[in-house]
Chain A
Amino acid sequence: MLRLRIGFVLIAMVLSFFGARLVQLQGVDPGSYAAMAAAEGAVKVPLEAERGDILDRNGIPLADSIKGKMIIADPALTAARAPELARLLSDELSVDYFKTLTALRGRKERSRYEYVARRVPSTLAGDTVAALDEAGFEGISLQDDPIRDYPAGDVAANLIGYMGTDEPLGGFERTFDKQLAGVDGQATWQSNSGKGVRIPLRESTLKAAQNGAPLRTTIDRDLQWFTQKVLAQSVQQYRAESGAAIVMDTRTGEILALADVPTFDANKPTEADEDDLGSRALNDTYEPGSVEKVLTASSLIDAGKAFPRQRFKVPPNLARQDRVIGDWFDHGNIRLTLAGIIAQSSNIGTVLAADAFTPVELVSYLQRFGLGQKTNVGVRGETSGILTPGEAMTSQTKDRVAFGQSLSVNVAQMAAAVNTVANGGVRVSPSLISGSAVTDDGVTVGTDVATRTRVISKQAARGTAKMMEKVVDPEDGVAPAAQVPGYLVAGKTGTAQRVEAECGCYDGSTSVSFGGFAPADDARFTVYVVIHAPRVDGGGGSITGPVFSRIMGYVLGRYGVEPTNGTPSRLPVEW
């Protein structure tokens, strides 16, 4: 009897243990055990979203993504035969032998995961792994690692930016990352022995990756390339510090090319000087110099305070309150028309003409031309330039502003301002993005949100264009080199004293520039070129004039714009 009782008690104790364990498993945290069971044999594959391409206006990729792999070593398996394996890998993948060897042996104690190579094209990676399998090596695996490729290297690199190891580091890549990046997906399934073969009829889920949307720019790749080459050649020839050039479609404000020199190869950003990675054209300000006279003169004409044939007596120098204003060329008392003042680029003449304006009037025109405000084309860190408000402007400052000093601009602002004259007095806001896109600051940019505002009357724009034609006149003007054979060209030179960033003063170096449009009587394109700190003597006409002519000649031919056969300007320059 006793034995039976003891037996029952023992059985009861054991059963109660089982019961407690059951409650623990099922009652306390059933979810985690279920998950553990599911994880056994489950395969999770991240599905990388493909990064959207950055396209030029014709759909040619400036940046595209291709499938790539990272090659990963498990040192626990590779350390034993590391030298042989490293030799094979360095031969196949052209990676450094010693770095590979270190990786295969493990950079840290008991490491199980080391990168051997990243961004290897899938085909090459696949072939390499096949070769390794054949040779009987173990411990090398592959993971997805998309490659960002810039097929044209340095073409528009300053605008499109570049990628770091995993994240965008500059340019459009970073500004429009949200659009380009897409959303990664994931596939989960049950697998046998981890070989990636699905067990049929078992649970499997698929969350497809959402690929990034492409970003279409207004850049014309071939034109951009040509612009960069021509500009680089001049920058080098005149041993200048830097240069920028921009080509705008007069009617739509689309920027067809925006070149920066020096530039960099977007495929190898680490090899470039850090200062060259951004877009100087939009991030740096400079004083525009005499190209600004176009804006002063056209404003005066629009306000009815001057006309192209208006006569001015221009003295050798002009004493104003704080300093004497001089011209770039020595002259006695000369008699120039307003057209002559523009053609000869006389500072004194411009100041005399601008005397009809109060500072407030002049500044309000310049603001309407877009100076002092960001163009919002979508380039990171764009400067808004400096334009002193009219109320705070002294008459001396106004005098200097009238001929383009004591105010600073970026290249897109200046091009858009000159383009206003080309476009019959209507300012079209410039754009670099075709359609629209949202920047990381939440600003919508692009051709869809481009604005048009009338700044000066059509007659004033026409009159100014006629005066600008005189600038490239071989007899009356200062920049015959800017002519394009067969076409009527209107333009304006600029040679500005340049502020050296370190000392914050005029150090004697100059920014030479040329802005203009063609055909002058029915403008289609505006080209603006600026070269900073050339170490060879020269002005806007001789240094940037030929660059302008070359780019303009190419773009007119490329877009099939025939000469208009209009009558050249017959405005008198002297009286």
Chain B
Amino acid sequence: MSSPALQPRTRVTRIAQEAVDKARLTVVPRVRTRAPRVPFVTLVSLVLVAGIVGLLLFNTSMQQASFTASSLENQADTLAAREQTLRMELDELRNPQRVALEAQQMGMVIPAAPVFLDLETGKTTGVRTPATRENAIQLLPPAPVKPAILAPAPTIVEAAPVVPEVSPEVSPEVSPETTTQGTTESRAKNTNKPGRKNRNR
């Protein structure tokens, strides 16, 4: 801007002092192009508000997610517990004892020896033995011996000679002559067992 002005200086005469005076460089007050403030402030405010609201929403959603996570975890726990309980029930249903009891009630027994059937030739190997009622195994333990107070029969074993008088009372359906022996014996067993039990304890 200033370099083209150098050459005229040498040639110009002071013919227009006034104009020269006028043209002398002076400090010009800087012109400020004042941008409108409002949009900027609005923008910043918007960013700020958006940030705060976003953070708030984000936090809320995190919190929400945390609640959801907790409740889902609880649900997972409950379901896992349910699954385990069901599995336990299933295992108890598979208990061989239970299966065998049901099978025996349906009239099935475990055979004494296996027989093999060849599907191609239709022949069997092994000795075919019938599975009978005798093959059934005793699945339940014998009924526990009742305590003496609940079975208040007199101890007949000691009073052996007077047994015939007592026996009709014990098994009224059978005639006394034939059962004397049997009842005495069964009584002997009954009175024997609790005694043994006591010793063991």
**Do the two chains bind?**
yes
B87 contacts across to A, CB distance below 8 A: 64, 66
Give Cα A151–Cα B77 distance, bound, in whole angstroms: 22
Q: Is the beta-carbon distance between B96 and A67 smaller than 8 angstroms?
A: no
What is the predominant secondary structure among interface residues of chain B facing chain A? Answer: helix
Give Cα A483–Cα B104 distance, bound, in whole angstroms: 25
* Among B91, B125, B142, B200, contact of A273 (Cβ-Cβ < 8 Å): B200
A11 within 8 A of B: no
B88 contacts across to A, CB distance below 8 A: 64, 66, 121, 149, 151
Q: Is the beta-carbon distance between A151 and B95 smaller than 8 angstroms?
A: yes
B63 contacts across to A, CB distance below 8 A: 200
Q: Which stretch of B16-24, B66-74, B158-166 is in the interface?
A: B66-74
Question: Can you list, as one digit per residue, whether each of B68-85 has a CB less than 8 Å from chain A (1) or not (0)?
Answer: 011000000110111011
Q: Is the beta-carbon distance between A553 and B80 smaller than 8 angstroms?
A: no
Q: Is the beta-carbon distance between A201 and B113 smaller than 8 angstroms?
A: no
A36: shortest Cβ distance to chain B, in Å?
Answer: 24
* Among B65, B111, B116, contact of A200 (Cβ-Cβ < 8 Å): B65
Q: Which stretch of A131-139, A222-230, A380-388, A521-529 is in the interface?
A: A222-230
B44: shortest Cβ distance to chain A, in Å?
Answer: 27
A121 contacts across to B, CB distance below 8 A: 81, 85, 88
Q: Is the beta-carbon distance between B84 and A66 smaller than 8 angstroms?
A: yes
A29 within 8 A of B: no
Question: Can you list, as one digit per residue, whether each of B86-111 has a CB less than 8 Å from chain A (1) or not (0)?
Answer: 01100110111100100000000011
B182 within 8 A of A: no
Give Cα A3–Cα B122 distance, bound, in whole angstroms: 124
Given A152-B95, A200-B63, A557:B137 Cβ within 8 A: no
B115 within 8 A of A: yes
Q: Is the beta-carbon distance between B97 and A67 smaller than 8 angstroms?
A: no
Q: Is the beta-carbon distance between B91 and A123 smaller than 8 angstroms?
A: no
* Among A67, A200, A230, A487, contact of B80 (Cβ-Cβ < 8 Å): A67
Write the chain B residue with the least CB distance to A61.
B91
* Among B66, B82, B91, B111, contact of A197 (Cβ-Cβ < 8 Å): B66
B-side interface size class: 35 or more
Give Cα A273–Cα B85 distance, bound, in whole angstroms: 30
A556 contacts across to B, CB distance below 8 A: 113-114
B65 contacts across to A, CB distance below 8 A: 200
A232 contacts across to B, CB distance below 8 A: 138, 141
* Among B66, B127, B129, contact of A199 (Cβ-Cβ < 8 Å): B66
Q: Is the beta-carbon distance between A485 and B96 smaller than 8 angstroms?
A: no
Q: Is the beta-carbon distance between B127 and A485 smaller than 8 angstroms?
A: yes
A97 within 8 A of B: no
Give Cα A201–Cα B58 distance, bound, in whole angstroms: 12
Q: Is the beta-carbon distance between A200 and B62 smaller than 8 angstroms?
A: yes
* Among B82, B95, B114, B200, contact of A275 (Cβ-Cβ < 8 Å): B200
* Among A152, A199, A236, contact of B97 (Cβ-Cβ < 8 Å): A152
A568 contacts across to B, CB distance below 8 A: none
B residues 130-152 in Cβ contact with A at 8 Å: 137-139, 141-142
- What are 13 inter-chain pairs, A to B, with CB distance below 8 A? A60-B94, A64-B88, A123-B81, A152-B95, A152-B97, A198-B69, A229-B138, A229-B139, A236-B142, A485-B112, A553-B111, A556-B114, A563-B125
Q: A-side interface residues toward B, CB under 8 Å? A: 60-61, 64, 66-67, 121-123, 126, 149, 151-153, 155, 196-201, 221-222, 225-226, 229-230, 232-233, 236, 273, 275, 484-487, 549-550, 553-554, 556-557, 560, 562-563, 565
Q: B-side interface residues toward A, CB under 8 Å? A: 59, 62-63, 65-67, 69-70, 77-78, 80-82, 84-85, 87-88, 91-92, 94-97, 100, 110-116, 125-127, 129, 137-139, 141-142, 200-201
- Taking A67-B80, A557-B113 as known contacts, 7 extra A-B pairs with beta carbons closer than 8 A to each other, sorted by chain A number, are A66-B85, A149-B88, A152-B91, A198-B69, A485-B126, A487-B126, A550-B137
Task: Please give me the 4 A-B residue pairs with the lowest Cβ-Cβ distance, nearest first.
Answer: A557-B114, A122-B81, A151-B91, A486-B127
